[in-house]
Amino acid sequence: MMKKLAIGNDHTALEMKRELTEYLEAKGYEIVNVGTDEPVSFHYPISGYKAAKLVASGEVDGGIIICGTGLGISLAANKVNGIRCCVCSEPYTAKLSRQHNNSNMLAFGARVIGVEMAKMIVDAWLEAEFQGGRHQNRVDMIMEIEQTQDLKEAH
Ligand code: RB5
């Protein structure tokens, strides 16, 4: 159950970040803001990295990161060991990213979706639980690639 969340953004997502923070705080989530609040160009890897470090260290339960497309900021977050950040533009993928991939970070694009869709995606992601079982083996394989730059079963 995620209760404390990091939220990060670049300059494209100031308003979306603000509205989602309000939305989630009203639902009782604790939000740690690691994004920019200034309406000037901002390098998205900075907030993607900061949010990812908080998730990887266990200081927060999960992270939500937003840039124009969700792509750049998710790529940065996924470079931190232990992070599984998925870009989702609709709720089905967000739900499955938890159930099958045990995603611990969610990304989307403020230039791709509207804030009401973002709320539905966030709700689907937060409500879903990792299903384990056969999915655990596959997530373990992803983490093996991260840890060893190799995958035994691929040989
Ligand atoms: C900023 O113009 C844009 O490149 C950024 O928000 C993001 O979409 C990158 O992936």
Average pLDDT over residues 33-58: 98
88 is catalytic: no
Tell me how crowded residue 72 is: count the other CB atoms within 10 A of its CB: 18
Instruction: Give yes or no for residue 12 CB within 6 A of ligand 1.
Output: yes
pTM of the model: 0.98
Percent of the chain residues topping a pLDDT of 90: 99
pLDDT in tens, 114-139: 999 999 999 999 999 999 999 999 99
Q: Which of 67, 85, 86, 88 is catalytic?
A: 67
- The burial of 35, by beta-carbon neighbours within 10 Å (0-12 exposed, 13-18 middle, 19 or more buried), is given as buried
CA 46/CA 48 separation, integer angstroms: 6
pLDDT for 1 beyond 90: no
